[in-house]
Amino acid sequence: MSSQAKGYDRPPGAPRWHIPYGNTGTEPLPNPPDAVIYENGVGGAVTPGAQRPTIFTIRQPTVVTQIMTYHYHLRQRPGTIGLESEDGTSYGPWDAAGAGGPTLPNVYWWIQPFIILQPGRYRVVDSDPDSWSIEASTEGAGIVKIWGAPY
């Protein structure tokens, strides 16, 4: 088995995640080379305020390389993003970096955790559910996009 996701070579002992130097929240969201393993937004009209848990399922051991939550809001600074397994194990939380554009900074909160998850159900934990956006297709769950690769 390889713990390396496509295009990434994390040296042994390297920190799991840090906010990129110079991050202002106006940079574009990084587009990792890995596959999207879960996405629940389809680009519809959004409103703030996640009303129910955002849950996804992993069917095989997977390395999660990037997680993005969407916050179309009142210019909040990014908080944290974590994961919780159905058995209650917590992963993170990690301080999120912001991305967006000059007129809409920090609408994307993102992390690159490089965490290996075993098969099961996981909940995305966002530190600011009041600004975490939802749309009709998410049925009240916060919008998220997760990238990764089989482990």
List the chain domain ranges.
Answer: 35-144
Instruction: Give the whole-angstrom CA distance, residue 107 versus residue 101.
Output: 8
What global pTM score does this model have?
0.88
| DSSP SS3 for 92 | strand
Give the residue among 88, 147, 150 at the shortest CA–CA distance from 113.
Answer: 147
Centre a 10 Å sphere on the Cβ of residue 54 and count the other Cβ atoms it contains. 23
For residue 10, the model assigns a pLDDT of 52
Q: Which CATH class is domain 35-144?
A: mainly beta
Give the residue among 90, 93, 98 at the shortest CA–CA distance from 68.
Answer: 98
Structure tokens at 66: 């990037």
How distant is the alpha carbon of residue 17 from its chain centre? 12
For residue 4, the model assigns a pLDDT of 41
Q: What one-letter code names the amino acid at 134? A: I
Structure tokens at 132: 């975490």
pLDDT in tens, the chain (151 residues): 333 444 444 545 445 567 777 788 999 999 888 999 999 998 889 999 999 999 999 999 999 999 999 998 666 789 999 999 999 999 999 999 999 988 889 999 999 999 999 999 999 999 999 999 999 999 999 999 999 999 9
